[in-house]
Copies of this chain bind each other. A is one copy, B any other.
Amino acid sequence: MSGMRVLVLGADGYLGWATCMHLSAAGHQVAGLDNYFRRDLARNLDLPPLLDPPALPQRARLWRERSGREIPVFIQDLCDYDALVEVMRRFEPQAVVHYAEQPSAPYSMMGPAEARTTLVNNLVSTLNLVQAIGALDRGVHVVKLGTMGVYGTPNIDIEEGYLTVQHKGREHTFLYPKTPGSLYHLTKAQDGDLLYFYCRMWDLAVTDLNQGPVYGIFSQEAGDDPRLLPPLAYDDIFGTVLNRFVVQAAAGVPLTVYGQGGQTRGYLNLMDTLTCVRLALESPAEPGQYRVFNQFTETFTVMELARAVVEAGAELGLQVEVNNIPNPRREAEEHYYNPVHRGLLELGLQPHYLDTAMLVKMLRLVLEHRDRIRRDLMDPRVTWQGGA
């Protein structure tokens, strides 16, 4: 199933452009769509990323020069239904990768306006996609990026999408119940519920990739061209935890561990995200199937991540300190956590596990930009109880 036409929604984000290039390199015909929503949020909040890639048309040009392959880009808002229909009519995708959501948990907890922006953007974008597919071609495979955070931390094993329950002598298989820990994570449970509903009603084919926090910036496709690397956010709003630790280590700032740091999550390298998305596209869901994969390669506590960064820093002669600060979130800091993650391995994923070499490489790159790191961006400014 090579050479598919794939439309990547949210092509400007942390993972979007890297995905476009990866799929393009694998021989697919890729187009990207974005309205610079997340870029504008970061700019408006004065949270510049450490690496700040050029706009999409420029990256498409750089990629063309590097690879000889075209990636048309559409600067459109997915919340504009007519615009989306127009793009889909022109490009006629066989599959869509949907990253185009507000991705930050702290942002969603800042206040009423940010909560509403998160809810409306994330659900209307998903609904518009479903409705456009419903109107144009119900055979289009949707690969939606979800999050492991939708499950919360239940006291039983987290299965891959579904849970079979025995109850009073009878049995039923449910979509695995969700207990998300932020409004952002809730909207990702809700967009999954939307897709599951239309799979049942319209026989849509959907893969939901419940992804753990991603770390890393390198990819084979970007190579050593820094202009093709993803934005590297390290602030408390848009920075994912391990990336933030790396920047804190480079800046000589203590790593900010929220509370005891016993929170356990499933993590993966950015390069594995790219492979997972491609594997899901190349072995699509069946019509009517809402297929769920738990997308991570290994679990760590936050303290384990901090210790890994301390160790990598030591290799470069950095004395990295760890600071357990009051937890701005409301979450369990010690809990059972045993999520299944078989599906993507069965499709052929060969994980890049976290190691010191990768952290050292990342640290070296960040150290080159050390003078641009803003130390005022890294402490948590949003609490789950009180907003911003």
Using a CB–CB cutoff of 8 Å, the interface residues on chain A facing chain B are: 81, 111-113, 115-116, 119-120, 123-124, 127-128, 131-132, 134-135, 154-157, 163, 165-168, 170-172, 174-175, 177-180, 183, 186, 189-190, 193-194, 197, 200-202, 330, 336, 384-385
The answer on a CB contact under 8 Å between A163 and B157 is: no
Chain B residues, CB < 8 A from A132: 112
Task: Tell me the nearest residue of chain B to A202, going by C-beta.
Answer: B385
The answer on a CB contact under 8 Å between A124 and B119 is: yes
Chain B residues, CB < 8 A from A186: 193-194, 197
The answer on a CB contact under 8 Å between A170 and B189 is: no
The answer on a CB contact under 8 Å between B127 and A116 is: yes
From B111, B165, B385, A201 is in contact (CB under 8 Å) with B385
The answer on a CB contact under 8 Å between A330 and B201 is: yes
The answer on a CB contact under 8 Å between A155 and B127 is: no
Task: Tell me the nearest residue of chain B to A387, going by C-beta.
Answer: B134
Chain B residues, CB < 8 A from A174: 154, 177, 179
**Looking at A174, A178, A179, which has the most chain B CB atoms within 10 Å of its CB?**
A174
The answer on a CB contact under 8 Å between B131 and A127 is: no
The answer on a CB contact under 8 Å between B156 and A170 is: yes
From B113, B128, B163, B202, A165 is in contact (CB under 8 Å) with B163
The answer on a CB contact under 8 Å between B156 and A165 is: yes
The answer on a CB contact under 8 Å between A189 and B179 is: no
Task: Tell me the nearest residue of chain B to A113, going by C-beta.
Answer: B81
Q: Distance (Å) between the CB of A24 and the closest chain B CB?
A: 30
Q: Distance (Å) between the CB of A146 and the closest chain B CB?
A: 15
- Chain A to chain B contacts (Cβ below 8 Å), 13 pairs: A81-B112, A112-B134, A116-B127, A119-B127, A154-B172, A155-B172, A156-B170, A157-B167, A157-B168, A157-B170, A163-B177, A189-B193, A201-B385
Chain B residues, CB < 8 A from A120: 120, 123-124
The answer on a CB contact under 8 Å between A127 and B154 is: no
Task: Tell me the nearest residue of chain B to A189, going by C-beta.
Answer: B193
Q: Distance (Å) between the CB of A131 and the closest chain B CB?
A: 4
**Looking at A113, A154, A172, which has the most chain B CB atoms within 10 Å of its CB?**
A172
The answer on a CB contact under 8 Å between B124 and A112 is: no
Chain B residues, CB < 8 A from A154: 172, 174
Task: Tell me the nearest residue of chain B to A85, going by C-beta.
Answer: B112
* Ranked 4 nearest A-B pairs via Cβ: A112-B131, A174-B177, A156-B167, A155-B172
Bound form: Cα–Cα A167–B165 in Å: 8
Bound form: Cα–Cα A29–B190 in Å: 36
Bound form: Cα–Cα A128–B81 in Å: 24
Chain B residues, CB < 8 A from A127: 112, 115-116, 119
Bound form: Cα–Cα A197–B177 in Å: 13
Chain B residues, CB < 8 A from A202: 385
**Looking at A81, A167, A202, A384, which has the most chain B CB atoms within 10 Å of its CB?**
A167
From B128, B156, B190, A168 is in contact (CB under 8 Å) with B156
Bound form: Cα–Cα A112–B120 in Å: 15
Chain B residues, CB < 8 A from A119: 123-124, 127
Bound form: Cα–Cα A39–B150 in Å: 37
Task: Tell me the nearest residue of chain B to A169, going by C-beta.
Answer: B156
**Looking at A112, A168, A193, A336, which has the most chain B CB atoms within 10 Å of its CB?**
A112
Chain B residues, CB < 8 A from A163: 165, 167, 177
Task: Tell me the nearest residue of chain B to A130, going by C-beta.
Answer: B115
Bound form: Cα–Cα A330–B203 in Å: 11
Chain B residues, CB < 8 A from A194: 186
Bound form: Cα–Cα A5–B182 in Å: 31
